Amino acid sequence: MRFLKYLIAVWTTLAVYTVSAFFTGSTGTLAFQQLSAEQAKQKVNIEALQNLNRELGGTLDSLKYDSDTIRIYARELGYGTQDENFVRIVGLGGARKQRVTAGQITVPRFPGYIPDRILWFAAFCAGIVVLVLLSISEFMRERRKRWRDYRS
């Protein structure tokens, strides 16, 4: 019967590893939450890129088929027709139209988790601590029993 209580140390080791791996392991809830946040960030970026793609598609269509749009863009670049004269005012800065950016690069963060080796080591240490505590309690119980037998 005494041997069975030492199995508590083994069960403690397994329980500590299981609980810690569930929360902070490589496939635990903490890593899953971080990956879910990165996924949401990537979805937002994809939606922004899709909106930008639609806008650029509209600009492309207008440049293909609308001569007035081509004239406006040409004037922004400093071109004009033969009968036009340009007046430049120094010091006002550029009055050119701001173009849309080509998109944003998002680099996903590596999820933070505790490696399995460390989790196993912590669980093993917890099992050793329980084993030592059980051994000490057994030793103290035997000592009290001998002391009582000695006094009697």
pTM over 0.85: no
Return per-residue pLDDT of the chain as tens, 152 residues: 567 878 999 999 999 999 999 999 988 999 999 999 999 998 988 898 899 899 889 888 988 998 888 888 888 787 888 888 777 777 766 555 556 566 677 777 888 889 999 999 999 999 999 999 999 988 998 888 888 888 76
State how far the Cα of 103 lies from the Cα of 107, in Å rounded to an integer.
13
